[in-house]
A and B are shown apart, each in its own frame.
Chain A
Amino acid sequence: MKVRFSPLLATGTRTMVPTLILFSVYLLVVGHDVPGGGFAGGLIASSALLLLYLAFGTRGLTRAMPFDPGEVIGVGLAAALIAGLIGLFFEGTFLTYTYSSFSAPLVGDIKISSLLLFDLGVYAVVIGLVATALLRLGSEAP
């Protein structure tokens, strides 16, 4: 049986997904100054995946997603651990963060911190989990 997808939803999804992903990255980056962070960002990105699933089904989601969810989870956990280990080596304590800030032309002050790496890990794990759930639980035929 061929599944028919709603053209309205499909068009809406095509417009929404890039915006959602961009917004999720924004939330991830600004997280420690204004509302946001890795978890919220990851959830926004996940909702983009959800839209893709609803509009195009498992196959559409797989094609739109250029990665394996399991690997994303692994990379995320590794990123969070590495962020912790950076603290262990440079500051002497696990999960202490190092900062360095510098000014770039046109952009202004840029703050780089291993905290962002930790948040990135959270972000990736959340996306990986939701993607796993959508692909595994949502597949049409058992």
Chain B
Amino acid sequence: MPLTLSIAAYFVVAVIILMFGRRIGRAVTLVAAVPYVGQIVLVTVRWPTRDPASTESFDWIPSLGVAIGLRIDAVTLLLTAVVAGIGLLIVIYSDRYFPDARRRARFLGLLAVFTGGMAGIVVSNELFGMFIFWEVTTVASYLLIGFDDEKAAARSAALQAILVTAAGGLAMLAGFVILALESGTTTIGSLVADPPTGTTVTVALVLVFIGAFTKSAQFPFHFWLPGAMAAPTPASAYLHSATMVKAGIVLLLFLAPGFASTDVWLWVVTTTGLITMAVGAVVAMRQFDLKLLLAYGTVSQLGFMTALIGLGYTGTALAVLIAHSLFKAALFLIVGIVDKSTGTRDVRKLDGVGARLPVVAVAGAVAAASMAGIPPLLGFVTKEAAFDVLIADQAWIALAAIAGSSILTVAYSTQWWFGAFGNQQITSELDARPAYPSMVASPVVLGVLTIALGIWPGPLGKAIGEAVGQSVKLVLWPGFKPALALSTVVILSGLAVVWGVRTIGVERLPTAKELHLPTGKGIYAWSIRALNATAEFTTGVVQNGSLPVYVAVIITSVLFVPSMVWFFNWDATIDLELWNTPAEVGLALVAIVGAIAATRVQRRMASVLLLGVVGYAIAGIYVIFSAPDLALTQLLIETLTVALFALVLVKLPRRFGVRPRSLSSRSRAAVSILAGVFVTIGALITSTVTPDRSLTAAYVQQAEDAGGRNVVNIILTNFRALDTLGEITVLAAAAIGITTLVMTMRSSGTKDQA
């Protein structure tokens, strides 16, 4: 239960902040920090007694066998520590990043929603429970990317991110359903313990891959991640480097024990990872925006992890994941500080920032060096571990690709640091304000962790080894081995590349477009255009603006289907009893006369009043058949309808037919007569059916059980309560419609309606 509560706390705090954030004021940051601290405490307390069999689960949709299950073992505790720990640093950082209290509260609230989802993903033990948390992060990410909602670029970047990741999420859901059907279990633990096989499972895996790849910005879906840099920097630091984009990697980590030995896993995951790693690194070289450079760097590093998982090195991948979360979050936060203090992230404008923000520059150097894989940092240790396993297993192609991309990683890491903090003799005066200590604290803490874990990686390696059940060798000094030689070559080549690029000039490098790197962006743009065009076309046809046409379409479609049924299954013998009481005849005559007159009069108001007469007559018939509820409602509805009609009619011409008609009188008459004939036949047929009295008795009995004697009301509010809920929602929508209609008419100043 404590784990469930610790995750629920995020959502509770999110609601509190989003509702009362402004009233809480400055203390909002403290409130926001509560769930993060809670989870850190939980991990600390649980770590010594971690029990692989310890789970918490509760039924969610028992009829479908869907449950939310959480497990508490080494791997989930480790990932929870990453999520909550970095999250806490981001919260502290955000306190000063958002000077405006309202924006700060909104950001921290949305961040808590996101973290709740992310913390749920990393501990999920149930496929469908995980899917829900997965989508929570998708939606929260959408809101955070579009945080500056007054900017069109932010809105479209957010839309792009949610469309790509949600589409992937749907593919993943389909994959989950197939896996659950094939294996007969929805629990991830049992699924990987006894994995199903066959072609169907291969299809399911590919679908799950699409979900993981879209989330983790793998080629060719990677284009949404650079766009997502429209988000506020703390959000990018957390979602788009340290956590959310890791969700796909985490999913693959969870599934790897069961499926990593299949061919589809080896080929699809490894190839995608390697291509992504290379594409990201190449494009990162050509960036001038510090944040975009990091975004492409993230794409590249995610590809690295994916490739390792594809080859089955889950432990090494997890180590790289942790190292990457630490240095990349720090790098983003540092970009945020530089941006805040100078007002730009463009390397062509930044000059001499290192001298003015020395502490930040040092923290940046540590993080960038860890990204480049320089000893004695965690980035070096994990990359070394990756080289070591690849050499040991003689995976030469993967090794070559990873080493090649790593050379570029060294190069763009160096470029990033010199771009942000270097001196480059630009004449423009750049004003750098000093940074807040609370903002500098977070990257410094991450930097200290990177150094500490780099120098003393043993415990982390042990924990990871236990988590994935695969021994992982994390050591700072491996001895003179091929891996060390490779690292040295990579670092030196990387520096050579930097020297080369500096000599040529970054702006002379070919852009991604010039390189003709394939990306999914074109397909995305094309589908959005096609969707819009289809929507416009359909709207043009279906919504042509003529009310009579709408009504005619509705009536004829209602007529068509049931009348076909009658046409083909006509077996009713009509045995007619004309009336029970003479009063019926009188009321029917009133209704008929009223209806005919309503079609004949020329004045709109008279026509509406005559329709009211028809309605009252029908209410009278209800009374005769002792249906007081119906009669009451009918009378009230008729009265109000006539009155509301009158309100609208004063704005229309008094008489019909002043303006040209969209539907000829003949076709109107035809539709009306058809509808009349249809209803008459329907009434005749229903009157011949012998009613099943037991049904009535059953309803009365059940209404008694439900605690009421008015069967009609009990049906509306109890047996069919969901329908009623839907209906009142429609009423609310109608009210919104009326308001919008009147508002737009007023603002556009169309007065010819009057």
Which A residues, 109 to 127, have Cβ-Cβ distances below 8 Å to chain B?
A: 111, 113, 115, 118-119, 121-122, 125-126
| Of B92-100, B474-482, B547-555, B719-727, the one with at least 4 CB within 8 A of chain A | B719-727
Kindly provide the distance from the CB of A116 to the nearest chain B CB, expressed in whole angstroms: 9
| Interface residues on chain A, number (Cβ under 8 Å) | 49
B710 touches A95 (CB 8 A): no
Contacts of A130 in B (CB 8 A): 640, 644
A10 beta carbon closer than 8 Å to chain B: no
Give the one of B639, B643, B717 with max A CB within 10 A.
Answer: B717
- Determine whether the beta carbon of A137 is less than 8 Å from that of B636: no
Q: Contacts A39-B716, A76-B728, A118-B721 given; indicate if A136 touches B636 (C-beta within 8 A).
A: no
Please report whether the interface of chain B is mostly helix, strand, loop or mixed according to DSSP.
Answer: helix
Distance A112 CA – B435 CA, assembled complex (angstroms):
60
B-chain residues with CB within 8 Å of residue A54 when the two chains form the complex? 643
Q: Are B739 and A70 in contact (CB under 8 A)?
A: yes
CB distance from A24 to the nearest CB of B (A): 10
Could you give, for residues 42-65 of chain A, a 1 whenever the CB lies within 8 Å of some chain B CB and a 0 otherwise?
011011001000100000000000
Known pairs A77-B728, A111-B707, A133-B647; A142 contacts B746 (CB<8 A): yes
Instruction: Tell me the smallest distance from the CB of A6 to a CB of chain B, in Å.
Output: 16
Question: Could you tell me if B709 and A118 are in contact, using CB atoms closer than 8 angstroms?
Answer: no
Instruction: Give chain A residues whose Cβ lies under 8 Å from the Cβ of B718.
Output: 95, 97, 115
Complex alpha-carbon distance, A129 and B721, angstroms:
20
CA distance A76 to B722 in the complex (A): 15
Over the window 615-632 of chain B, the binary record of Cβ atoms lying under 8 Å from chain A Cβ atoms (1 yes, 0 no) is 000000000000011001
Interface size class of B (residues with CB under 8 A): 35 or more
Determine the chain A residues whose CB is within 8 A of the CB of B716 once the complex forms: 37, 39
What are the interface flags for A28-43 relative to B under an 8 Å C-beta threshold, 1 for contact and 0 otherwise?
0001111111111001
Assembled-state Cα–Cα distance A95/B725 (Å) = 9
B708 near A95: Cβ-Cβ < 8 Å: no
B682-707 near A? 1/0 per residue, CB < 8 Å: 00000000000000000000000011
Judge whether B637 and A43 touch: CB under 8 Å.
yes
Determine whether B714 belongs to the interface, using a CB cutoff of 8 Å to chain A: yes
Residue of B648, B710, B754 with highest tally of chain A CB at under 10 A: B710
CA distance A7 to B707 in the complex (A): 46
Verify A125–B709 contact, CB threshold 8 A.
no
Which residues of chain A are within 8 angstroms of B722 by Cβ–Cβ distance?
Answer: 94-95
B713 and A129 within 8 A (CB): no
Shortest beta-carbon distance from B349 to chain A in Å: 48
- Chain B residues near A142 (CB, 8 Å)? 745-746, 751, 754
Interface residue? A86 (CB, 8 A): no
The answer, yes or no, to whether B742 is at the interface (CB within 8 Å) is yes
B754 to A, closest residue via Cβ: A142
Do residues A128 and B735 form an inter-chain contact, with CB atoms below 8 A? yes
Interface centre among A39, A84, A111, A118 (most CB of B within 10 A): A39
Given contacts A40-B633, A77-B728, contact A33 B708 (CB under 8 A): yes
A47-B639, A142-B746 known; A129+B710 contact, CB < 8 A: no
Do A32 and B717 form a contact, CB below 8 Å, given A133-B644, A142-B745?
yes
Given contacts A31-B713, A119-B717, contact A132 B636 (CB under 8 A): no
CB distance from B647 to the nearest CB of A (A): 4
Q: Report A-chain residues with C-beta under 8 Å of the C-beta of B633.
A: 39-40, 43
Nearest residue in B to A121 (C-beta to C-beta)?
A: B728
Contacts of A34 in B (CB 8 A): 709-710
A37–B729 Cα distance when bound, in Å, is: 18
Chain B CB within 8 A of A12 CB: no
Looking at the complex, which one of A70, A74, A84, A137 makes contact with B644 (CB distance below 8 Å)? A137
A68 to chain B, nearest CB (A): 11
Shortest Cβ distance from residue A88 to the other chain B in the assembled complex, whole angstroms = 11
* A138 close to B (CB within 8 Å): yes
Q: Report, nearest first, the 6 A-B pairs whose CB atoms are least far apart.
A: A32-B708, A43-B636, A95-B721, A37-B713, A132-B735, A125-B728
Q: List 30 A-B contacts (CB under 8 A).
A: A32-B708, A35-B632, A36-B713, A37-B710, A37-B712, A37-B717, A40-B632, A40-B633, A40-B636, A43-B640, A46-B636, A46-B640, A69-B735, A74-B732, A80-B724, A80-B725, A81-B725, A84-B721, A94-B722, A97-B706, A115-B718, A119-B713, A122-B724, A125-B731, A125-B732, A129-B732, A132-B738, A133-B735, A134-B644, A142-B751
A interface residues with partner B (beta carbon < 8 Å): 31-40, 43-44, 46-47, 50, 54, 69-70, 73-74, 76-77, 80-81, 84, 94-95, 97, 99, 111, 113, 115, 118-119, 121-122, 125-126, 128-130, 132-134, 136-139, 142
